[in-house]
Amino acid sequence: MAASSRQRSTIAIIGLGNIGGVAAGCLRAADRQDIIVCVRQPIERLYLERPEGDVEVPLRALTNPADAKPVDWVLLCTKAQQTPSAAPWLARLCNSSTRVAVLQNGISHVERVAPLAGDAVVVPTLVYYNGERLGADRVRLRHVAEHDLVAADDADGRAFAQLLEGTPLRVLLSREFSTLAWRKLLINTVANPITALTLQRQAVFRREDVKALCIAILEEAVAVARADGAQLAEDEAVKTMSTLLTYPPEAGTSMYFDRLAGRALEVEALTGAVVAAGRRLNVATPLNAALLTLLRAVSDAASAG
């Protein structure tokens, strides 16, 4: 008993929203590691609805970074724009033996998080599951793809996959991580901005004029992705649009819900990443730059309000 408890590794989950809530509930229910959640509001129990059967788990929560100690793994589950606010947590949780898995959208996980993580290793991941925080102590997991997360097929990615063994979260290890990251960003490059700016759910993509605009936005992003080394199909923009059209018309997007709620938008990690990479790689992105200006104006007004 004492020996096995000594072997349990420690995981700190920063941000108990849609994604962090599901990760915390799944890991706590599997009970293979010691889990703490780093939150702004205290919480003692979490109810997780999941296809494998609902569970209610006790949580050990910290609300003050000063109470945190170094852990084996950090799962960073804030929105990308909230990453700087997690710096005090990362400073206390990380040492040279820590790995920080970043469960955020975008392509620049390492650049975003490494400056805040000291000597820790940053492990980028792509999230495919749908998480929904239904209330203060309730979250729902939906599987929407064959895998729930993707990590690079290297030593750190494999260690991340092992961490989630015994949970319902299935990790795909891929040698094409950066291509998959770009593919996911392509969807987000149209799905999020268009729903947020039009304040319409995904039914808006059934309009022929919106479809044509989306293809043009995607063509720009695909050119940037190729210049960045992504291995994409000839007709990647059209394929991406076809994928988007398989989603239910009544589905929203996280940027749409953030705009409805008057919250800041995850704009720099999505459209901002395309425009920044275009500038770096000398690929013109006028449509994405126009979207970026509008989204920044919306997001800044929300932050100021």
Ligand X SMILES: NC(=O)c1ccc[n+]([C@@H]2O[C@H](COP(=O)([O-])OP(=O)(O)OC[C@H]3O[C@@H](n4cnc5c(N)ncnc54)[C@H](OP(=O)(O)O)[C@@H]3O)[C@@H](O)[C@H]2O)c1
- Residue 254 lies near ligand X (rule: CB under 6 A): yes
Q: What is the rounded (10 degree) CA torsion for 183, 188, 191, 197? A: -150
- Residue 201 lies near ligand X (rule: CB under 6 A): no
d(CA 192, CA 197): 8
Pick one of 12, 13, 19, 194: the residue that binds ligand X (CB under 6 A).
19
Which stretches within 199-233 are classed as H helix?
208-227
CB nearer ligand X, residue 103 or residue 273:
103
d(CA 199, CA 111): 31
Question: Of 48-56, 75-83, 171-179, 244-252, which segment contacts ligand X by CB under 6 A?
Answer: 75-83
In the set 69, 79, 184, 211, the catalytic residue is 184
CB of 7 to ligand X, least distance (A): 28
Whether 117 and 90 have beta carbons less than 8 Å apart is answered as yes
Of 191, 163, 27, the residue nearest 105 (C-alpha): 191
184 in catalytic set: yes
CB nearer ligand X, residue 145 or residue 155:
145
CB of 287 to ligand X, least distance (A): 21
The answer to whether the Cα torsion of 218, 219, 222, 224 is positive or negative is negative
Pick one of 11, 26, 39, 187: the residue that binds ligand X (CB under 6 A).
39
Pick one of 10, 33, 82, 174: the residue that binds ligand X (CB under 6 A).
82
d(CA 130, CA 260): 19
- Residue 16 lies near ligand X (rule: CB under 6 A): yes
CB nearer ligand X, residue 19 or residue 287:
19
Site string for ligand X, 97-116 (x = CB under 6 A): ------xxx-----------
CB of 208 to ligand X, least distance (A): 28
The answer to whether the Cα torsion of 215, 220, 226, 228 is positive or negative is negative
Pick one of 12, 36, 46, 78: the residue that binds ligand X (CB under 6 A).
78
Q: How far is CA 16 from CA 114, 170, 235, in A?
A: 21, 20, 38
d(CA 105, CA 288): 17
Number of CB atoms found within 10 A of residue 155's CB = 10
Number of CB atoms found within 10 A of residue 18's CB = 22
Pick one of 30, 36, 59, 77: the residue that binds ligand X (CB under 6 A).
77
- Residue 131 lies near ligand X (rule: CB under 6 A): yes
Query: What single-letter amino acid sits at 64?
Result: N
Question: Of 2-10, 14-22, 226-234, 236-244, which segment contacts ligand X by CB under 6 A?
Answer: 14-22
The residues of the shown chain that bind ligand X, judged by CB under 6 A, are: 14-20, 38-40, 77-80, 82, 85-86, 103-105, 127, 130-131, 133, 254, 266
- Active-site residue set: 184
